Every structure is written in structure tokens, then in C-alpha cells.
Amino acid sequence: MADKITPKEEDYSEWYNDIVKQAGMAEHSAVKGCMVIKPHGYAIWEKMQAELDRMFKETGHVNAYFPLFVPKSLFEAEEKNAEGFAKECAVVTHYRLKADEAHKGKLMVDPDAKLEEELVVRPTSEAIIWNTYKNWIQSYRDLPLLINQWANVVRWEMRTRLFLRTAEFLWQEGHTAHASAQEALEETRKMLDVYADFAERFLAIPVIKGVKTAHERFAGAEETYCIEAMMQDGKALQAGTSHFLGQNFAKAFNVTFANKEGKQEHVWATSWGVSTRLIGALIMAHSDNKGLVLPPKVAPIQVVIVPVYRDLGQLETITIRVKEIVGALKARGIAVKYDDRDNQRPGWKFAEYELQGVPIRLAIGLRDLENGTAELARRDEQTKENVPIEGIDIRIERLLGEMQEAIYQKALSFRESHIYHAHNWNEFEDMIANRPGFVYAHWDGTTATELEIKEKTKATIRCIPLDGADEPGTCVLTGKPSTRKVLFAKAY
RNA sequence: CGGGGCAUAGCGCAGUCCGGUAGCGCACCUGGUUUGGGACCAGGGGGUCGUAGGUUCGAAUCCUGCUGCCCCGACCA
């Protein structure tokens, strides 16, 4: 029982898989590359959704829903975007099955039910959305148009990993239209800030904001912004992207508006998204060898109370007191669960809730009732203390806040201690090969150099950090001049 | 798309080399003792061994085809 989870020092990848499975977050399905998100995993997603949705609405966005299918002719309208996704599109070609005469009880695709035009299962929704927006936008008075959708998308990946990369995944995609490039750029940056704020404040994952290189840019975008997070194995994980699409989609779908002077102009666009991949980020940023560690803000259950008793009479006595505590915690908006199941013993429950990452556990027995105390265990630091029941709701509320901050600080100091600066090629190669983490280095700005570095070291440019200061130097590979360091790492 | 692995009870596995009618741990059900870190004892239920065919008196086991999933690489959020 003690060995449910492979230690991360032994095999990081197995450790990750074990956490996902043992914490009951997701499992592989009968469909290749697709996962079943189980209740505990989905509850975490719902917490993320609720907070993001609130943040989107606070910044003026509204939700809508667009179709799963995109007619091929629409999909290919914006050429760069279409080309970028072409290799991983699922395509619907028929709309009917029929009995297979040759194999009793089996079905076959009805060759007479071939679609006149194939339907692409959306890998992203720009095409169908811009085709719709053109009917919604006539005048500058219709702008900005600020819409988000919560949806599933399909990208036919060769190699998949639960949450990190699956053929189908859940996400949100914001699609906005603006009257000027300036305004669209501001929106792009604003949503990047929303994501960074969400990642740091809510998920307790420190991120680096930056711009993608031309090579890593979203197909069809003029500029792609991103937030990059460091996982506990030192690898980078892109946690969110925000794109300035220029007028590319407006031109492809002929979306124009009359400006104040009555002249027709193409609108300026943005799109931005985060996905269930964030659940993978959450796991890899904070968890330990005992299971999931959840920052209190994302935890579906923040406090679990486990009664310790000898017989049902004692349980009843304890329950009366616990109900008061539950009431007091709920009154403070704390998500609390009282686990009075009689078919599992306390030790079993302790282990189970640690696996699931519940931030605080209270154990209460008769001994505690006599002393007016409870045993309080915090998941992140695995510490236990006896605390007075009197005022425990206040204590817990404060502790949840402290834990949120502590988890963030821990991730931050891990990241800071795994960031290096390479001054020459030997140093760079050595760091990438032998030190898990991020490496800042000068780059000459060309895709050729970027690809050569990737070829040689497997490291890619995660981003050109926004907060980096200009600092003239020479490219770590070619020695050509560079104005600023960029961020290299091996990535998920 | 290449290379490897796996498919036997809800889960994890043994049995396959050497054919004889299926077993272990966990979970589940019943009863009892237990309960402050994954309890114990006794009894019990559950499997057309991925699928189709072949060899054989007899196939989880040998042969052939098929399917699915996982892992490692190339490609990607």
C-alpha cells in the first residue's frame, strides 16, 4: 500500500502517471489518446473554470458556443492557420452507418452517405468564429466584440499523456475583434496578464511572461504571447497563450466595419486560451511522493474532518461537535467534508486524502473532545499539531491563506534556484544537459540558429521574456550580436 | 510513422516455455473482533483467459490472422 506512487526521484514520468491515477483524476479510455476525466480531476477543472470565467467577465467578456465541426472550405480560408493544424485534424467524411451484410451484427460506413463537404473537427475555432463574426460586425459601434467559449477541441497527437497532451481536451478560447491594432494588442496583453495572475494567485504556479519566436508562434498569428512555468523536473510547460492575430482572419473571412469616417476597414483580432493541461501543470508543480498537493484555492475539498472512534455511540458524540465545526467553516466559505463513513478506518482515510491533496485534515476523537482540541494536519508540509476547537474556523481560514502563499513561495524558490545564465556554448550545452531548469542566453534572432540549438541540445526557446532588460551580447551559438537574452529549456 | 511491451475477476498480477478444464493479493458480500497512520479472523460470490480461425481426445497455454491499449523515439498546446 505504501508504494502506490513511484518516487519522483526514481522516475518522474511514472510518478506523474501514478499521481493522476491514484488520486483519481483521470484514466485512459477505450479511445486511443483520449482520457476520461474522473470526478476529482473534473472538480479541479470546475474550480479553474469558475475563477477564470469570473476574471473574463470582469474584463468585459461574455460566453457563447460555436459548433464542433468546421466545413473544410472554411477551415482552409486562413492558409497559415490551416496549414499549421492540417497534420493533426480529425475529419468527418460520412454521416451514416448501415448493417454490414458480410459480417452479421456489425456496422459499416454507408458509402452512399458521403458528405458533399468534409467536416473538420475543430482543433481551434477561429475559422467558424470569424465566419460568424462577419455577420455580427458592421460598424465601429459593434466593436470591440469580446467573446469566450468553453469547449472541447481535437488535435490528433501521435503521442499522448494524461492532461498534458491528449487527442481531445477541454479548454476555453477567447476570440475578440477590435477597431484598431493598438486596441487588439492591448487586449492580447491584458489577457496574458489575466492568465499570469490566475496561474500565480490561484494555482500558485509562478510563470514567466514572454513572446514566442517566429518559429514557435501560433499559426495565423502576428504575435504569440505566453506564460511559461517550471515543473519539478526542471522542464518548461507552456501554461497559456494569447495571440495578436492582426487582420489575418479578418481578411480571410472578409470581416470589415465602417469606421467613424464611414470607411470600411478590416477588424483587428485576438485569441487566447488555456486548457485542462493546467491540471498537469498543477500536479507537476506542487505534488510530492505521497500524492497530489493542491493549493487551497483550487482544492475542491479544502478541509476534511475524520472522526476517530471505537463504536457508533462515540461516533454520534463526535458528530454532534463536528457538525458545529462544519457549520462554522461553511459560514466562512470554506469547502469542508465530514467523512463519517464507517467502512474505512482513520488511517486509511488519512492516506486517501493525502493522495487527493486535500490541504487540511482534522482528526477528532473523544480524547480531543475532552481536551477541546483537534489534530490538524497540513498537506503541503506534512505537519501535525493539536489545536483548540474554539476558534478553529478562524485559524483554518488564516491557515488556508498561508498555505496558498507557502505553496507559491516554494514553487518560486524552486524555480529561482533552477535558472541559469549561459555565457558561451560550452556552458550552455553543459547546463542544458546536466542541470534541470531554465537557461538564459543570447540568441541572434534567426530561426536557423534556434533550430540548430534544438537539434544539438533538445532545448527550445520558450519565450523572449517581457520583463527582461535589454543587455547587448553575442549569440551563444553563432557569436552574432544580440540585444537581449532569451529563455531556453527542454519543454513539455 | 518506426521500435518495444501488454491483453487472464472491478484493480494489480501469476499461470503460457513443458496442453489436462483457472489461481494469488487488493476490492466486494456475511458474521465477529477492531478503530489516534492504509486492521484481523472465519466463511462466501464473481472470469465464454482481447477477438476470429486452426492443430488436438483435450487449448489461457501450440500455430495463423485481426483488434485494442501502454511505453520509448520523430511531430505538437
C-alpha distance from residue A369 to each of A286, A320, A341 (Å) = 34, 11, 19
CB-based contact A354:A348 (threshold 8 Å):
no
Rg (CA), chain A: 26
CA A444 to chain centre: 31
The b-or-e profile of A181-220 (16+ CB within 10 A means b, else e) is eebbbebbbbbbebbbebbbbbbbbbbbbbbbbeebbbbb
Give the integer Cα–Cα distance in Å for A426 and A242. 34
Per-residue pLDDT of A372-391, as tens digits, reads 999 999 999 999 999 999 99
Residue A32 has pLDDT above 90, yes or no: no
Partners of A373 in beta bridges: A388
Long-range contacts of A183-188 (CB under 8 A, 24+ apart): A183/A144, A183/A268, A184/A244, A184/A245, A184/A246, A184/A268, A184/A269, A184/A270, A185/A223, A185/A244, A187/A144, A187/A146, A187/A270, A188/A223, A188/A225, A188/A242, A188/A243, A188/A244, A188/A270, A188/A272
Measured from the CB, is A372 under 7 Å from any atom of strand B? no
**Matching residue, cell 477588424:** A267
List beta partners, residue A139.
Answer: A258
A12-286 CATH: 3.30.930.10
Which residues of chain A (98-157) touch nucleic strand B at CB < 7 A?
155, 157
C-alpha cell at position A284? 507537476
**Cα A341 → chain centroid:** 33
Residue A99: pLDDT band with limits 50, 70, 90: confident
Instruction: Write down the ipTM of this complex.
Output: 0.88
Grid cell 524555480 in the structure block, residue: A415
CB A202 within 8 A of CB A295: yes
pLDDT given at position A211: 96
The candidate with the shortest Cα–Cα distance to A294, out of A76, A48, A49, A126, is A48
- CA closest to C1' of B36 belongs to A308
Protein-covered nucleotides on strand B (Cβ within 7 A): 1, 28-29, 34-39, 68-77
Given the candidates 3.30.110.30, 2.40.50.100, 3.40.50.2300, 3.60.20.10, the CATH classification of the domain at A419-489 is: 3.30.110.30
Summarize pLDDT for A16-27 with one digit per residue, the tens: 888 998 899 998
Q: Which of residues 4-63 of A touch strand B (CB under 7 A)?
A: 4, 13, 17, 22, 28, 30-33
Contact assessment for residue A97 and residue A126, using Cβ atoms and an 8 Å cutoff: no
Q: Mean pLDDT across the stretch A117-143?
A: 96
Q: What is the pLDDT of residue A104?
A: 66
The pLDDT confidence band at residue A466, using thresholds 50, 70 and 90, is: very high
- As a whole number, the mean pLDDT across chain A is 94
Nearest alpha carbon to residue A295 among A282, A279, A281: A282
pLDDT at A70: 95
Alpha carbon A40 to chain centroid, angstroms: 16
CB atoms within 10 A of CB A390: 10
The answer on pLDDT for A103 being more than 80 is no
Q: Which residue is nearest to nucleotide B25 (CA to C1')?
A: A1
CA of A127 to C1' of B66 (A): 40
For residue A3, what pLDDT band results from cuts at 50, 70 and 90?
A: low
pLDDT in tens, A403-454: 999 999 999 999 999 999 999 999 999 999 999 999 999 999 999 999 999 9
**CA-based max dimension of chain A:** 82
Phi-psi region of A437 (alpha: psi -120 to 50; beta: other; left: phi over 0): left
CA of A153 to C1' of B11 (A): 31
Q: What is the pLDDT of residue A2?
A: 39
Distance CA A75, CA A81 (A): 8
Q: pLDDT above 70 covers what percent of chain A?
A: 99
Amino acid at A99: A
Each residue's pLDDT tens digit, A211-253: 999 999 999 999 999 999 999 999 999 999 999 999 999 999 9
A220 Ramachandran zone, left/alpha/beta (phi>0; psi -120 to 50): left
Q: Strand B within 7 Å of which CB atoms in A 325-364?
A: 343-352, 354-355, 361, 363-364
- Do A171 and A273 contact (CB within 8 A), yes or no? yes
Judge residue A137's burial from the number of C-beta atoms within 10 Å of its C-beta, 0-12 exposed, 13-18 middle, 19 or more buried.
buried
Q: Would you say residue A105 has pLDDT above 80? A: no
Closest nucleotide (CA of A355 to C1')?
A: B38
- What CATH number belongs to A301-406? 3.40.50.800
Least confident of A75-89, A218-232, A242-256, A320-334: A75-89
Query: Gap from A433 CA to B73 C1', in Å?
Result: 18
Query: Is there contact between A215 and strand B, defined as CB under 7 Å from any strand atom?
Result: no
Distance A13 CA to B70 C1' (A): 13
How far, rounded to the nearest angstrom, does the alpha carbon of residue A280 sit from its chain's CA centroid?
A: 7
Q: Please list, residue by residue across A310-331, b when 16 or more beta carbons sit within 10 angstroms of its beta carbon and e when fewer do.
A: eeeeebeebbebbeebbebbee
Q: Is the pLDDT of residue A1 over 50?
A: no
Residue A472 pLDDT more than 70? Answer: yes
* CA pair distance A44, A60, nearest whole angstrom: 25
Nucleotide nearest to A351 (CA to C1'): B38
Mean pLDDT, range A174-201, rounded to an integer? 98
Cell of A178: 477590435
Q: Is residue A144 reached through a cis peptide bond, with omega within 30 degrees of 0 on the bond before it?
A: yes
Determine contact, residues A227/A199, Cβ cutoff 8 Å: yes
Q: Residue ranges per domain, chain A?
A: 12-286, 301-406, 419-489
- Interatomic separation, CA of residue A22 and C1' of nucleotide B76, rounded (Å): 27
Cell digits for A201?
A: 494567485
Measured from the CB, is A166 under 7 Å from any atom of strand B? yes
